[in-house]
Structure 1
Amino acid sequence: MRNVGIPSDNLHRSRIIAWGIHLFTASGVIWSLLAIIAIISHQWQLAFAWMMLAACIDFLDGSLARYFRISSILPEFDGALLDNIVDYLSYVFVPALFLWGSDLLPSEWKLPSAIMISLASAYQFCQSDAKTTDNTFKGFPSYWNFAIFYLFFLQWNPWINFAILFFLSLFVFVPIQYAYPSLMNRHKLPTVILTLTWFVMLIAILIQYPNQQYWLILTSLLYIVYYVAISLLLRSNQNQI
């Protein structure tokens, strides 16, 4: 049943809003393309800026889509498929290219590592239950943009970076549940507040580059500890968060 009983003026307005939200989601491909151009030019700070803008859009578009119920307004358009296409590009392909083009990894392992995370995430994205019925992610949810952000600013040994990426790739296949901050049933408000605070810290770290504020980087890692802890709680207290 499609939009039965909705006055034509309201339906027209709703469809405009729905298409606008889909366009907002689709704009992620623009920022990803600009990130690719920046990577090719070795403009690392600019590349991260575009990646973070794409991530910001991803943080917002799902909530907007649910609030305006755009799937019922435009049932002929698959917004979930669009979101997955944009997410794979911005969370996986662009970071993979960054790994290949930067000096984060041993030179002989740049391309294999880029291929590794691309294939692992292709599997993760195509699982029918990648996003579970209790609003969690199954397996490491391909946060490669944030992973390489920390590897870049922490400036660890390339072999340590490779080891981290290797183990994160393995965790794609381990069916551990990871929190979906905007869809949590319990502890949602503190998690959303902490997520926003963390994102602001990442912006501050990026703005100050190349001046490194390690205290800020290490402080931001406390959110990662929180995220892992709340995700492990999901495993022991399933369907309660």
Structure 2
Amino acid sequence: MRKLAAWSVHVFTATGLLAGFMGLLAVTEGRYRTAMMWLLVALVIDGVDGTFARLARVGEVLPRVNGGTIDYVIDFFTYAILPAYLFYAAIELPYLPRLLCCFAMLLSAALYYGMEGMVSADGKHFVGFPVLWNMVVYLLIFVLPDLPQVAVVGLVVTFAVMHFLPILFAYPSRGGRWWPLTLLATVGFIGSAIANVWYYPEASPVWRGVCLVTIAYYAVLAAVDTYAGGGAQERRKPE
């Protein structure tokens, strides 16, 4: 029974790749709203599978199956490759800057994944902007679609550079400063994302406002944690 539970968790994690594949099909068909919905499904799967893994003690029950590796493969597709493809297909930019933005996303993500550790020593923060290109692309398409082209390129470059800066970004599921408020902001962000994608291309000022407020909260939290983090900024291998 324990092995069945552990395998069920691994299969659940792997369904994130199925969601990503459905998103890929949607992008190729020009259904960008559907593609983003599938990316949000993958995000939710990735957000809860770790809790299930700890409950089922998968590392102990199935020591020869590396759930972390499964997770990394899926994450790189759904957090980097597919968002870059969605950006290329949906964002209105001249060909060369659009392509270079996609290259910036993919190269920064690949290098970030290759670094010694992506989680701080206390286990409660990502060090550097985590590979969340799915959320950056969501912001550009569904929340701020009227940004000037130069601002779009500037944001992509900024986030790419931030992968490698010693900034502490909260790991929402692992506690940390203002944790209840962080969980509330996370729920608000995901809820607003679902609403903004659902109403697209119609404007939803309320839900866009919720999205921007939660992003501002994360930015303030990152600034406070980075300033006060001290030794937490030391990288370690993720568990």
TM-score over 0.5 for the pair: yes
The CA deviation string for residues 90-148 of structure 1, in whole angstroms up to 9 with x for no partner, is: 00000111122123433221222111110101111121221122121111101111111
CA distance in 1, matches of 2:181, 2:61: 32
Instruction: Report the CA distance between 1:186 and its aligned residue.
Output: 4.1
The CA distance in 1 between the partners of 2:216 and 2:176, in whole Å, is: 20
Distance 2:91 2:56 in 1: 44
State the distance in 1 between where 2:221 and 2:83 align: 26
Mapping 1:53-68, distance limit 5 Å: 53-68=41-56
2:168 aligned partner: 177
Describe the superposition over 1:182-225 as per-residue Cα deviations: whole angstroms up to 9, x where unpaired. Answer: 01244322211221122111111111122111332122111111
Cα displacement string for residues 20-70 of structure 1 (whole angstroms, at most 9, x for unaligned residues): 111111111111111111111111110101100000101111111122221
Contact 2:90–2:141 (8 Å) recurs in 1: no
Looking at structure 2, the residues matched to 170 and 28 of structure 1 have their Cα atoms a distance apart, in angstroms, of 27
Does the residue aligned with 2:116 lie in a helix, a strand or coil? coil
State how far apart, in whole Å, the 1-side matches of 2:92 and 2:180 are.
35
Deviating runs (4+, > 4 A) in structure 1? none
Q: Which residue of 2 aligns with 1:107?
A: 95
- The CA distance in 2 between the partners of 1:197 and 1:102, in whole Å, is 25
CA contact (8 A) 1:92 1:144 kept: yes
The residue aligned with 2:69 is 81
Distance 2:65 2:10 in 1: 9
Q: How many residues align?
A: 228
Return 220-229 or 210-219, whichever deviates more.
Answer: 210-219
Tell which deviates more after alignment, 205-214 or 55-64. Answer: 205-214
Q: Is this contact kept in 1: 2:170–2:176, CA < 8 A?
A: no
TM superposition score normalised by structure 1: 0.90
* Distance in 2 separating the partners of 1:91 and 1:110: 18
Distance verdict in 2 for CA 1:82–1:88, change over 3 Å: same
Residue 158 (structure 1) shift: 2.3
CA–CA distance in structure 2, aligned partners of residues 224 and 79 of structure 1? 30
Q: CA RMSD in A?
A: 1.5
What SS is found at the alignment partner of 1:105? coil
Other-structure match for 1:212:
203
Residues in 2 aligned to 1:68 and 1:186: alpha-carbon distance in whole angstroms: 27
Separation in structure 2 between the aligned mates of residue 113 and residue 149 of structure 1, nearest angstrom:
15
Matched, 1:42 2:33: no
Secondary structure in structure 1 of the residue aligned to 2:221: helix
Identity of aligned residues (%): 26
Paired AA for residue 136 in structure 2: A
Greater Cα radius of gyration, structure 1 or 2: 1
1:52 corresponds in structure 2 to 40
d(CA) in 2 for partners of 1:224 and 1:18? 35
Bigger relative CO (Cα 8 Å, ≥ 6 apart)? 2
Question: 1:105, 1:161 → 2: CA distance?
Answer: 9
CA distance in structure 2 between the partners assigned to 1:176 and 1:56 by the alignment: 24
Q: Does 1:225 align with 2:216?
A: yes
Counterpart-to-counterpart distance in 2, 1:166 and 1:201: 25
Structure 1: give runs of 5+ residues left out of the alignment.
1-12
Q: Does 1:236 align with 2:227?
A: yes
Q: 1:133 aligns with which of 121, 141, 146?
A: 121
CA contact (8 A) 2:168 2:222 kept: yes
Farther-moved stretch of structure 1 (159-168 vs 228-237) = 228-237
Q: TM-score, normalised by structure 2?
A: 0.90
